[in-house]
Amino acid sequence: MTTNPAPGPDTRAEGTTNPARGARTGPAPAPVTRAEVPAIPAPVHATRAEGRFTFTAATPLAADPALAGAAAWLRASLTPATGLPLPDRSRGSEGAGGVELRLAGGLGPEEYRLTATPESVLIEAATPAGAFYGAQTLRQLLDPAAFRRGRTGDRTWSVPAVTIADAPRYGWRGCLIDVARHFLPKNDLLRYIDLLAAHKLNVLHLHLTDDQGWRLQIRKYPRLTEVGSWRRESPLGARRHRRFDGRPHGGYYSQDDIREIVSYAADRFITIVPEIDLPGHTQAAIAAYPELGNLATPLEVRTDWGVSENVLNVADSTIAFFTDVLEEVLELFPGPYVCVGGDEVPKTQWNESVPAKERIRELGLRDADELQTWFVRHFTDYLLARGRRPLGWDELMEGGPPPGLTVGAWRGEKCATMAARAGHDVVVSPFAETYLDFRQAEGDQEPVPIGSVTSLEAVHGFDPVPGGLTEQERGRILGAQAALWTEHIDSPRLLDYMAFPRLAAFAEAVWSGGRDFEDFLGRLAVHEKRLDALGVEYRPAAGPHPWQRRPDAPGHPRTRAEIDGTLAAWTANLRF
């Protein structure tokens, strides 16, 4: 199985969603209540009927050959918890009833129909991805114990009689996980791929490199992981407190690890977008290969958070070095997008560097912002020539955007609007609304509280499309992604706490839209039992458990007014 969140033609009927471009068009969907289908994300249309379909040991599972992978996933997911063998029955063979996955025309790439009657369950889709999402919904219609990895006792397994017609609002439904600041071991990352798939998210943006660590094996440059994959200590809490844990931290993914991760994700219709930060957030690489930097003094892998002034130099040899890195990245990640970073690049060293100033003069550039565009354009042109799509953060627009760039708009609605109006595809990820490392509530009980409050309700009501865009400009909004930056998330347990249940709310916002928060809360009460079965240590509605607090690691909470002021300062002089 493979997945591709890239823009593509809309093959569905009027009134449904183009899963690759823009918001839903046509008639508004009928409300779906928790009494009908307690699924998250909520299906677009759902109608209950009388009765239930009850599984037995003889209940067969049939699938068209093209949908065999989704059927195999469904059997492998349900059998351990239910004890039901779901024996295979070929399509068209004798016998009625059971569960069937059937190819059907006239549906979009991720669209499905699910019809459960007292006699049978039918999932129809035009693609394996659509069938997979239908199978995910079927699993949610069962008792939450279906999400366990083994049986917990005898019970009757059944689903309500229901008709569901479902399709996503956006083709790009993503989550960024920052494995550079705090490394996430492979098994935990595979677990998160399953969690994303369970919520019908289809993009995992892996932030693999930064000042504080390099997490990807590169055969040609072994010191990137020998030196760059670990730091001698980490801050304990927000950097302003100047407290450190005195403990080495590190780790990296071998190339075979990455091949396994990519394959595992593809089987769940998740595309992995790798990020190799350029030309800033590169101190770990410079520590491994000092010739990449601007200073004569050797550097260590950064042990502090924040933005480092140490950036790459603009020598031809440095460009060649990272072209070699990207060559290996393309071998490992077959998806259409590669992120080249471009965010938070201090220009101090370039403004003081004789070679950098000579580059600006010889190229006839206006300033260091345009030098950054020139530098990054080598890599965006390289990716385009290799048939890939470069993704970069919205700062890359400031010096004149490289052609073909897909913009990751993280600095708010203004940047998303300007990028779309400039003709660029846009992935929306505004930090004040979708950064899940921000605290979840007021009060010092939240672990390492930073940023303003990003509440569950606010995430659920998030709308990726800025107001005031034309229909054509709206079509350039590919979708959105939440972000789990891990400066202050130092364990998988804390990652669970910060991600859930907000990531479930985000998944609903980008799949079906946050229509009714009270209804969502009703369905969340059931969904939390699924998360319990999966072992997810989510934040309880009443606040953290005692063991989820971090009094040892003080944070830096800010008000929304302060965040808005920072955003206004960042974007006041945008000239793209």
Please confirm, yes or no, whether 143 is among the known catalytic residues. Answer: no
- 79-to-55, 190, 444 alpha-carbon distances in Å: 11, 20, 43
Phi and psi at 121, nearest 5°, equal -125, 125
- Assign 3-class secondary structure to 43-98: CCEEEEEEEEEECCCCCCEEECHHHHHHHHHHHHHHHHHHCCCCCECCCCCCCCCE
Length of the chain measured in residues: 576
Indicate the helix (H) or strand (E) that contains 260: helix 255-266
Which residues make Cβ contacts (< 8 Å) with residue 503, sequence separation at least 6?
Answer: 175, 195, 199, 201, 436, 482
Please confirm, yes or no, whether 344 is among the known catalytic residues. Answer: yes
Cα torsion through 319, 321, 322, 328, rounded to 10: 140
Q: Are strands 158-166 and 112-116 parallel, antiparallel or unpaired?
A: antiparallel
Q: Which of the following is catalytic: 10, 100, 110, 210?
A: 210
Please confirm, yes or no, whether 260 is among the known catalytic residues. Answer: no
Question: 329, 223, 375: which is closest to 284 by C-alpha?
Answer: 223
Q: Residue 27 in contact with residue 294, Cβ under 8 Å?
A: no
Which residues make Cβ contacts (< 8 Å) with residue 497, sequence separation at least 6?
Answer: 447, 537, 538, 539, 544, 548
Separation between Cα atoms, residue 169 and residue 10, nearest integer Å? 12
Question: 135, 200, 126: which is closest to 169 by C-alpha?
Answer: 200
Q: Which of the following is catalytic: 182, 205, 281, 378?
A: 281
Q: Which of the following is catalytic: 260, 304, 344, 519?
A: 344
Three-class secondary structure of residue 379 per DSSP: helix
**Active site residue ranges:** 210, 281, 344
